[in-house]
Structure 1
């Protein structure tokens, strides 16, 4: 600011000096022309004693106008008037050729009074003949004196401008530092470079929304997880379940991913500036959890069966010791035949070991909870088509778990499961003795957004919907002999 103000002051001084010279030129031309155009001037020049008539008049005009000299001369340079009386009658020193040609001009010339800006103009009679010349001028010393007298004002303005600029600079600096939290420009640049590198390298999605609903920061991972296009991102561009979420952590599902989303307000000095959303991908983890649940369920089933088998073995041994071997054989083989029949049927009809193990485990799990789970006779799976074993376990396991929970609301809980495939589609039908789920209730239950604070209840149906939607299948609900949920998936992928 100091450089700008000083440069402005120097330019003002230079401009003022130039203007001063230009104003002087205009002034001396006006004075010389006014005398030359006066009708009495050519008459006086042609009189017997021109000096006696013109000298008093030119001195009076000189005093009024403030010029340093007014010279009226003959075409041969002989002076009729001059500020210095001793120079009257002597030749004029300076250029007069252009004036003799009828032109009025100005020049800077070193004359009898020193360097001056002077004008020369011709004097003509009634016939248009040049009978004399008039020259008026102001010395450089006088011009400099007038210029110096004006310098204090210019310097004062420059100083005042510098003070105002200094105060403005300090005020602006303080305001900028308040807005940048006291950080200097190099610190801001360094922080931006570091933060930008971090934002694009972290494995979590990050979105920062301002009060206007437009994201001010969106990193690459957030665009990938939410399938966001390039360019500005608004709240309306997010999946519907994320558009109106509250603060805290929530589990959200998109068509292809399971996401953990946290939203927290950005606070500064008690004011809310916006919201920060962090997004973590739990798709693979959720699939592994589903498989782990199935394995755990199967393991629990084996444990309970082992415990039950030990009890039955003790009973059989005791019956033999009591001398009742026939009753012991009948007791030992009754339940074994039933369980072995189910195992043989599933292993023969279901050509997917993970699904067969899941169904066997769910039968035992349901029995432990007092629910009768039946695998229908028409259950048969040659090949699941485009559905992977993990997705098949997710689909069937979550439908069965929901059915078991729902069936407990009846006096005699039961669940019936059918899994079969054909040349065109895979069908999974799960019925239960629960109150049922009309279509409009199913639509609500499939909402993709559940609070992590209340556990994962309700997430099962959303995971089922995710698998079905991924392969453009259908999920329907009806209430007939019980609550029936049917998922149908084409065995071949269609565009």
Structure 2
């Protein structure tokens, strides 16, 4: 191939590749429609030509046979003065181009051109002499024609003469051109319609692809797919009908989704009710805390709009389980600090009392007062540390005791409490025990005096048992079922999270939690010990 042509083709190919996808599709569709219409016109032309030839051959054969079977032809054989007018009359009535009556030797008795009478017939006559009627295309005095030749028989069946009738190819061509003009008009109409439809499709495709080319779309898809699989945050796309259209790997892990999820309604995903309700509302939300079976998630929902029409929502999920645990631990530390502050405040008051008694010369009373206070504090410390040999939980109970005392609630440790190092996650244990005590203190303050909270910690062969009872008003069965739902609180502000986190931590450790009465609420948690019994 010529080097210039190769360079030209490469230049054209590069130029086309730079087109947008819509323009490439438009060009391709126009070519396809054009080729299809052109092929249809050519096919129509060939079929019409074949049909017209077959029609001409059939008509010539019918006229030939009719003339050959006419008694008047057999009676007037050899007499051109009689046969010529008859042949011309039949020719004009039937619309053929010639009727030739000839002798068995091929000499014409009739012809549209009288000058050809008496001259030899131009064409094949051998099959007719044998008694056969046949058709052929042959070039005679009038040019190429489709003709039929038939024998003229007498009463004995002897071939006495021959008859040929035909239609010129030129006349067939005139009819064919008329048919072709109609087919071309229809093809042009089809091409115009196809082109208009292709243009409309291309315009819509250009809007949908924002005028980008295949390469740009491919790169965008590759980046899109890579980002979806790379980010740790969860990403969900929910259409305006509430059906999931996209779910990345992070969302599957955070929500525990497995298998094919695309196209499923959010109510069919098996998510917690609060999260399902959030996804189904289709409203903007910012940094909402939601709990799944084992995770604490921060959820953001953004509505996507095109003009005034909602296209659905984009939902992002961030895992704050560890952060929430650390926050709980920090709250416990703050509780310890508050307890120390309260203890320091009380100690300062008591020290001032002791100093004042000394200044007043009542040294014995000062010593007795200080000894009693030291003995009470030491008894509480000894009782907690002696019963609870898990350092973190012991520190938590001491801090909560001081905090409860400051709020006017007596926190009592059950005499049969006996706890060693149990090997469970300390942060989850702090979350469970700390939140249960906090809620019990709040409930006790709402009940009748004296306000009390009883804590009992035990281990048996297979489980760690936590029991927290209060002297508050208690919970009925319906309220107890709702207590571990995110947002539930006795304060009515819809921000309750403590008991929901307790339930989540208990599930994470594979335990159970029950709510009873006695006389207030009694929360009992049972956590299986690792390597013992339940697992």
The TM-score with structure 1 as length reference comes to 0.88
Q: Structure 1, residues 47-71: CA drift from partner, whole Å, max 9, x if none?
A: 4524333322222232234332222
Q: What pairs up with 1:368-379 in 2 under 5 angstroms? A: 368-379=406-417
Deviation of 1:470 after TM superposition, in Å, equals 3.8
- How has the CA–CA distance of structure 1 residues 102 and 392 changed in structure 2, closer, same or farther, with 3 Å as cutoff? farther
2:514 aligned with 1:485, yes or no?
A: no
Give the distance between the partners of 1:322 and 1:335, measured in 2 at CA. 20
Give the distance between the partners of 1:128 and 1:262, measured in 2 at CA. 105
Residue in structure 2 matched with residue 61 of structure 1 by the alignment = 90
Q: Structure 1, residues 135-156: CA drift from partner, whole Å, max 9, x if none?
A: 3333333333333344443333
Residue in structure 1 matched with residue 64 of structure 2 by the alignment = 35
Residue in structure 2 matched with residue 380 of structure 1 by the alignment = 418
RMSD: 3.0
Asked if the contact 1:262/1:278 (under 8 Å) is kept, the reply is yes
Greater shift in the superposed pair: 317-326 or 244-253: 317-326
Residue in structure 1 matched with residue 9 of structure 2 by the alignment = none
Q: SS at 2:106's partner residue?
A: coil
Residue in structure 2 matched with residue 407 of structure 1 by the alignment = 444
Deviation of 1:441 after TM superposition, in Å, equals 0.8
Residue in structure 1 matched with residue 142 of structure 2 by the alignment = 113
Give the aligned length.
Answer: 491
Of 77, 81, 93, which residue of structure 1 is paired with 2:110?
Answer: 81
| Gap runs ≥5 in structure 1 | none
Q: SS at 2:513's partner residue?
A: strand
Give the distance between the partners of 1:78 and 1:35, measured in 2 at CA. 17
- How has the CA–CA distance of structure 1 residues 213 and 39 changed in structure 2, closer, same or farther, with 3 Å as cutoff? same
- How has the CA–CA distance of structure 1 residues 166 and 295 changed in structure 2, closer, same or farther, with 3 Å as cutoff? same
Residue in structure 1 matched with residue 426 of structure 2 by the alignment = 389
Q: What pairs up with 1:73-472 in 2 under 5 angstroms? A: 73-178=102-207, 180=208, 182-184=210-212, 186=214, 188-232=217-261, 233-238=264-269, 239=271, 240-245=273-278, 246=281, 247=283, 248-249=285-286, 250-317=288-355, 319-320=357-358, 322-384=360-422, 387-410=424-447, 411-448=449-486, 457-472=495-510
Greater shift in the superposed pair: 226-235 or 290-299: 226-235
Greater shift in the superposed pair: 260-269 or 417-426: 260-269
Give the distance between the partners of 2:180 and 2:68, measured in 1 at CA. 41
| Gap runs ≥5 in structure 2 | 1-28
Asked if the contact 1:438/1:477 (under 8 Å) is kept, the reply is no
Give the distance between the partners of 2:65 and 2:394, measured in 1 at CA. 126
Of 52, 63, 68, which residue of structure 1 is paired with 2:81?
Answer: 52
Give the distance between the partners of 1:38 and 1:48, measured in 2 at CA. 12
Greater shift in the superposed pair: 111-120 or 221-230: 111-120
Greater shift in the superposed pair: 415-424 or 57-66: 57-66
Give the distance between the partners of 1:262 and 1:133, measured in 2 at CA. 100
Give the distance between the partners of 1:212 and 1:169, measured in 2 at CA. 31
Q: Structure 1, residues 259-283: CA drift from partner, whole Å, max 9, x if none?
A: 2233343332222333333222221
Give the distance between the partners of 2:225 and 2:155, measured in 1 at CA. 89
The TM-score with structure 2 as length reference comes to 0.82
Give the distance between the partners of 1:457 and 1:419, measured in 2 at CA. 29
Q: SS at 2:446's partner residue?
A: coil
Give the distance between the partners of 2:131 and 2:241, measured in 1 at CA. 77
